[in-house]
Structure 1
Amino acid sequence: MQDETEFEDTNGNWSWWPSWRPTSMSLLKTAEAKILACLHNDVWARFVTLPDQNRIWTLTVTNKTVRRASEQASKTPLVMVHGFGGGVGLWIRNLDSLSRSRPVHAFDLLGFSRSSRPPFPTDAELAEDQSVTSIEQWRQTVGLERMILLGHSLGGYLATSYAIRYPDRVSHLILVDPWGFPERPQPEASDSAGQGLEVKRSAPPRWVKAIASLFSLFNPLAVIRAAGPLGPGLVTRFRPDFKRKFEDIFDDNTMTEYLYHCNAQTPSGEVGFRAMSESLGWAKRPMMQRVHLLPPALPVTMLYGARSWVDSSSGHSVAQIRGQSPTRVIVVPNASHHVYADQYEVFNNEVQKLCDTVD
């Protein structure tokens, strides 16, 4: 695996934090390297430098057992975009399988994991634009003409925005438990005559509203950084599911340590996400309002975990909005929000079949 020179990304007033938090870009690199060492196919890992000098950490995985490299090179590449707080290491169960017949590219979104962490605007539209523009600049720099674009959670939201803006570059859009699609529900108003038949939902207790208001003042993962040396244990305690999802690969805290180091660095993409989201996780610019802008001929597949907090009904709403356009909704049993890890064999098979429909 080829790896370019590591860089430390300290940022102004935050440069003193690493002395208290047990993290650094070097520790993140080490944690990721332990994960990627499990891959069997050929991996080219490097930083892709954008025109503005920001760098996107990128993996390109190809099948080393294929007889003729030209056969795989002729296939439309699959590009995988992780969700909020993630990084390329979370695709460890998928990269080998999905790269059997075509190149697979996975990158850390701008502001996350090992990619550069520039300032993000606090305006929702501008923050989204910065992320989407960085994806297009990445594509241009890597030299891809067209791609099968797969995005998970926040990555699905940004992948959709990208496909709307650059439709000629996407052959198939695969959205895995995408965040930010439905509009935030509005409180139901009672009938003016007091005779409405619908029962109004109970309002959240005042303490819930108070906590939500308090946390809206901070970045979503600020508690991990504020915990200092207790941060790694905090991630392990509150996300034990990540250890279980990969326990047949790692019998230690490798995955939760990776998550910690991904998110204990200087907040950047996290600031952008906060700008794009309402309190409690709704998008300020719901994608449901824009899916009609996707090219009618573009195939879209939405893949959900049956036990996910993301409601799969959004997928059916998208299919209804798109009418006769090719739109498919797949719900995977016994899978949570992280479908790609919970039911990775089903996930890999479904994605492989979708890719095969392209070429």
Structure 2
Amino acid sequence: MTRKVSTVKSPSVVNLGGSNNGHTHYKRSTHPTSVPLNKIFSNTFPLSVKESLDDYSFRDSPEKFQHDLLSLLPFYPDVENQTGRIAQVIQTPIDDNDANYINEFVIYPNKEAMAKESQDQLNHLVMVHGYGSGLGLFLKNFDALSSPSTNPKSNNWVIHSIDLLGYGCSSRPPFTPNNLDAVENWFHNSFKAWMIKRNIKNKDLLVAAHSMGAYLMATYGIKKSPDFCKKLIMISPGAVIKHRKQLNVPSYFAALWEQNISPFSLVRNAGPLGSKLVSGWSSRRFAKLTSREREQLHKYCYGIFQLPGSGEYMLNYLLAPGADARYPLIERGIHLLNCKLSWWYGKEDWMDKKGGLLCSNIINSYHNDANQSNVVEIEDSGHHVYLDNIDAFNEKLINEMIAF
């Protein structure tokens, strides 16, 4: 029997973080095949050539863009801030020769919580980004989740937002996997090594993962450790079920996809004009934010998009052209997870909510528990729920932390 999807509405007071100030209207992400070729080349790229050249001069310093972005938060990097919170960027080695590392933004509730013995007594929230993204895209969530004024249980939590291996400011080794197991092991093994190094216990762990990051976290649990967390929040997860109706995938798009040519290749090949090229997307994607937030998020995205290709080459192994699942999560043994699950979708999400409903039915039936897994629909949002409806997303995640 299909379970009803509960709906999370916007809070009565909605703070979008600023007005458009004359900029392009905010645009939610759409299905990757929905933009025709002529629309791409007729796009506007508002960044000036001079500004693009300025960004290009820092192309080898993505950490600068990350630092400048996170510095918009009221508690970073000043350890003497009035909020009591301590935030750090940490790069944790994950192999014996320290060649590879996981980049992390961690928020401690206070200075005392930084001690290992204190962390063993606290809960841990791990936030995992989606395809092509990085930890900086959660900018508008960090403050609310960690502030006592919005989260009464914040003093019980350490918040970790990580860049997966080959993404963001994590190390970017050459991508060598050539089959499904190898691709998943690339991410699973590096995540496991990070968990061990950071000494995060399963019973204290809440994982909130977006899109392909959610797929990777679920398959990690299925293949490596069914008890790896207490609860897994699947935020607009990718590759859950195959498309239920045929999509019209343009031939040029399918050809590029099958050759594993990612959109980030365009940014790299644009050289000094790469930042200007990214501005065609970022000017719409971040339009609802303040001018300072828009500027720093743009620079951050340019900074990570133009880095050497690595983890992004996972895409063609897991998804067919048009983002159709090659190995749907529903067929991978989702019921084997022993943690609780919650599947979050935007009301206008291009991800199919049916996948979450079907998986929840399987999980709840297997565990004989109607509350083992549920599906939530968040109004006024699409695929990027955490940015489309910032307040509703933050409120929902804070409620999960309170009830943990």
1:153 corresponds in structure 2 to: 211
Three-state SS of the structure 2 residue aligned to 1:94 is helix
CA distance in 2, matches of 1:72, 1:143: 9
Quick one: which of 130, 135, 144 aligns to 2:200? 144
1:248 and 1:328 mapped to 2: Cα distance?
Answer: 34
Moved more, 337-346 or 22-31: 22-31
Contact 2:243 2:324 in 1 (8 A): yes
Contact 2:257–2:316, Cα closer than 8 Å, also in 1: no
1:262 counterpart residue number: 304
Residue type matched to 2:174 in 1? P
Pairs within 5 Å for 1:216-255: 216-221=258-263, 222-245=265-288, 247-248=289-290, 250=292, 252-255=294-297
C-alpha displacement of 1:27: 3.2
Between the aligned partners of 1:35 and 1:338, the Cα distance in structure 2 is 19
Q: Does 1:281 align with 2:323?
A: yes
Change (3 A) 1:23 1:316: farther
Distance 1:340 1:23 in 2: 31
What do the CA deviations read for 1:44-83 (whole angstroms, capped 9, x no partner)? Answer: 2111001243111112102239999888762320011111
Q: Which residue of the partner structure matches residue 78 of structure 1?
A: 125
User: 172, 181, 184: which one pairs with 1:117?
Assistant: 172
Q: Does 1:171 align with 2:230?
A: yes
The aligned counterpart of 2:33 is none
Matched, 1:314 2:355: yes
Cα 1:215–1:292 change in 2 (3 A) is: closer
* TM-score, normalising length: structure 2: 0.73
Figure out how many residues of one structure are paired with residues of the other and give that number.
320
Q: Is the 8 A contact 1:23 1:264 kept in 2?
A: no
**Aligned AA (2:234):** L
Task: Give the equivalent residue in structure 2 for 1:48.
Answer: 92
Looking at structure 1, the residues matched to 59 and 333 of structure 2 have their Cα atoms a distance apart, in angstroms, of 37
Equivalent position amino acid for 1:154 in 2: M
CA distance in 2 between partners of 1:23 and 1:73 (Å) = 43
What is the match of residue 305 of structure 1?
Answer: 346
Match of 2:159 in 1: 104
State the partner residue of 2:65. 31
Q: How does 1:1-16 map to 2 (within 5 A)?
A: none
In the alignment, structure 2 segments of 5+ residues that lack a partner are: 1-52, 76-84, 147-153
Q: In the aligned structure 1, how far is the partner of 2:134 from the partner of 2:335?
A: 29
Q: Secondary structure of 1:169's match?
A: coil
**Distance in 2 of aligned mates of 1:277 and 1:119:** 20
Q: Work out the CA distance in 2 between the residues paired with 1:68 and 1:265.
A: 32
CA distance in 2, matches of 1:157, 1:186: 21
> Aligned residues: percent identity?
26
Determine the C-alpha separation between the residues in 2 that align with 1:65 and 1:143: 18
1:22 equivalent in structure 2? 56
Q: Is the 8 A contact 2:125 2:208 kept in 1?
A: yes
C-alpha distance in 1 between matches for 2:113 and 2:359: 41
Distance 1:143 1:255 in 2: 31
Judge conservation of contact 1:183–1:288 (CA < 8 Å) in 2: no
1:166-202, CA deviations, whole angstroms, 9 ceiling, x for partnerless residues? 1222100011111111124576xxxxxxxxxxxxxxx
Q: TM-score, normalised by structure 1?
A: 0.81
Counterpart CA distance in 1 for 2:102 and 2:245 is: 38
Q: For CA contacts below 8 A with separation 6 or more, give which structure has more relative contact order.
A: 2
1:216-261 deviation digits (Å, cap 9, x = unpaired): 324222222222222212211134333224x236265221221111
Whichever residue aligns with residue 259 of structure 1, its letter is: C
Contact 1:153 1:177 in 2 (8 A): yes
